[in-house]
Structure 1
Amino acid sequence: MARIDQTPFEAVILGAAHDGRGITRRPEEHPHAGKAVFIAGALPGERVLARQTRRCRRFDEAEVVAVLDPSPDRVEPRCPHFGTCGACSLQHLAPERQVEGKARMLADCFGHAGVAAEAALPPLTGASWGYRRKGRLSVRRVEKKDRTLVGFRERDARFVAELRECHSIVPGVGMRLEALSKLVDGLDARSAIPQIEFSAGDEVTALVVRHLEPLGEGDRAALVEFAQEHGFAIHLQPGGLDTVAPLWPTEPRLSFRFAPWDVELVFEPLDFIQVNGDLNEKMIAHALALLDVQPGERVLDLFCGLGNFSLPLGRHAAEVVGVEGDAGLVARARANAARNGMENVHFHVADLATDLSAEPWMGAGFDRLLLDPARAGALELLQQLPLDGLKRIVYVSCNPETLARDAAYLVNERGWRMRAAGVMDMFPHTTHVESIAVFEPA
């Protein structure tokens, strides 16, 4: 294959891709006139100097070398590692424009699926810095640099970015990346630690250290000393998820509280929780308002996890039934319901991607439905779910493409109306789109 010509070229950015990169086309005098070029770091309307980084049959990829005519929407990134680290690709774009772009992406997905919301919900926004309370940090010992790198991967995902700090992560972790690097550097097993996961509750932040060989007493003592100095709970993970166990303290307690509903959720460090705690509470209030539960009504909450929606809903509904495929999450959801004195909230374990006809909660006469599936969406579930008698459905989604597909099914195949839909900025400065839609019978 011929080498890529990396001579900088000038380009005017015609638009933006869904991943945030600028789009231009090769000029008429170019051998591949009209070919699309995706340029990382460029914004619509800008004139930039770019360098090609990849050649494909239908498009090329490039990165900005210099911005010649900046967009009025361009802002100075807060993070010194922007452009290298792959975690936040939109820090150079004004926050309000980021949200507008996500709303356009949602509308585009609906359009491609042949469906449209009757109204647009105002975007839901919250904390945009220090918001990320859960994540996985890659760890790699680099002998050429004589240090261990702890952080997210670089933009091309091949290497771990050399980070000193991260402004998206909760400060207790994001401002201690160098301390974590020095910690791992001092361990005998430093080359056998591929990742560290973090999970922050209201009062305690847990670090889960994945290690591929047993840790000696010296390494364990160093981890405990680090935890005590910086206020962390340390867990060790020598194998699969079922091997995670606390090192110090021996019985840590991770939890967060929803003050508006007087609800506390206790969780384990590798449990799924919404990444942005501030926006999560706003999202719950938003979803409950859209669901509009009336006294005496029964609500079905599918993909309920720890009870993120179920328990707040329990303060309004006569009964809430939550269903989740992860038995561990269901066990903790039940414990959370008992801890909060909520006898009207019940949980079941079920694989929601399989035949559910024998499940006791199927067709049990619910008034409202809330669902919050993973990226794959919920089409198979919706195809077998009895919708008769339901007054409203609220669908929370982390993937606008599958939300659009499922919305088209509800509208075109089941005769429902999509009353409204909108985006929620759960992951500021990234291209991730969280959205919500409300449906009613036609």
Structure 2
Amino acid sequence: MRSSDSYTIRGVRMRDHRFTVPLDHGNPDGASIEIFARELEDARTEAGALPWLLFLQGGPGGRGNRPAGLSGWLAEATKHFRVLMLDQRGTGLSTPATRQTLPLLGSVEDQADYLSHFRADDIVADAEMIRAELGSGPWSLFGQSYGGFCILTYLSFAPGGVREALVTGGLGPLTGPADQVYQATFARLRSRNAEYFAKYPADRPLLTRLMRHVVAVSEYLPTGERLTPERVQMLGNFLGGNTRFDALHYLLEDAFVPTPEGDRLSDAFLAQVSAYVSRAANPLYAVMHESIYVQGSASNWAAARVLREHPDFHPDADEPLLTGEAVYPWYFAQDPALEPLAELAELLAARTEGWGALYDVAQLGRNTVPVAAAVYSDDIFVDREIALATAAAVKGLQVWETADFHHDGIADDGEGIFARLLGMVRA
């Protein structure tokens, strides 16, 4: 472990840590990678006086949060803990895995073998090594979205390292194919689209016009590629939040401007869309997305397969609906950050062997670690029924179901949600 001196940013005392871990924890003498983590404390507390809490962020492929001060859930958490913000393998300041770095590994087959060690079981093994190097006893966990999936893996294979666990919007399926996820979430997306267009009825013809426009007229994003109707539909990710729901309306109202050639898409709109639909900042989100559900069989582009059963989401529909966070093969043809990874993505989608187990259902059924989870009734990313079925399979897991928040609830009331879940596990 290599650590920096502490420094303070707007009331948060920070310290950077770098850890060397095996690429394959089953072969500790083989290749290694580096994992970066940042320690966060309320600067008003005595350094190192509080127990550890490991935050596992959403994703896959997202780096740890970079806080600019004490606010939201972090303000509440640092009353009780010093927080370790992990850059999961391949992200942030950990050894990167991108279109630029992966070719260093050799053939695309070699790259696929390398990324077969980038799932929740590997993240948990990293965390256990880090916990030991920090000299911590069992620590507390807080997982948002995919971070909750990782917590279920932690409770499956290393429950002795966990004191208590809090989960928000992150109880995925424990068994079965990836298809079940998209079959459920397309239905929730349809309802969320209806809710949005009921609130903003003028946006219904506007969206249809926008999607027809990008077919008829070549409009280019600042990164140089043509905007397609499929990428316009990606704006449906806005529907997964409370405040983001209304932010979509503000984005769409900027869409068209008059020009000497007729109405065109505004530079402001194109810039905002480009920032939202590009995966340059988190390519592993697309490359590894369906693998987080793979349990003994290949994903084979499950979302694309299920999409064919829902023609109202097709770009050519009379009034096409917005899609959500699912990843499709066309991502790797339309996003410059992903194009070089297209062959790799195909190999991973077809892969059946070389994945580690994600969960031990029997162990979860005899769990003794206190766990509390927020389940959002209308979550378009992690389906309520799937979440509740998973909760029922984990012994002692307490559920707080609420319709007051959507998938990004901790962005709206992180302090309140964290405090409530911590109170539940300590009651």
Q: TM-score normalized by structure 2?
A: 0.26
Q: TM-score normalized by structure 1?
A: 0.26
Q: Return the structure number with greater strand share.
A: 1
Q: Return the structure number with greater helix share.
A: 2
